[in-house]
Amino acid sequence: MTQVALVYDEHRLHFSLATSADNKTQLLPSNTQLLPGNAAVLRSTAVETVYQVQLVFSGGLFGHFTQMIVFDFGKRPLLARKVVAELGDLKMQERVQVLRDKLTFNR
């Protein structure tokens, strides 16, 4: 059975899953982190199955937020995609990136 999941715990409260039907977002119960694959099927034929999942982000804080969305089709390997949300003005983001680069260089 196919499943879709969000796996990073650190920013879990900022990300959730939703499904689409007829191009309208259907929000699932608050902060849904695991979705059965059949809820994400957009269309299915004998040749292919197309999945569509919406990743919902909410946040009012300045910062760098990450999440990993994983599709498990019941076979290995899994399909995973890292998602990043950056909140804040461009000048501040550039300054934070310079500081991150310095920290990485110093390690």
* pLDDT tens digit sequence for 29-38: 567 788 876 7
The proportion of the chain whose per-residue pLDDT surpasses 90, expressed as a percent, equals: 11
The better pLDDT of the pair 23, 37 is held by: 37
Task: Kindly state the tokens that stand for 3.
Answer: 């499943």
The better pLDDT of the pair 40, 87 is held by: 87
d(CA 23, CA 21): 5
pTM of the complete model: 0.68
CA distances from 14 to 36, 66, 75, 101 (A): 20, 9, 29, 25
* pLDDT tens digit sequence for 70-104: 988 888 888 999 999 888 788 877 887 888 888 87
The phi-psi region of residue 31 (left if phi > 0; otherwise alpha if psi is between -120 and 50; otherwise beta) is left
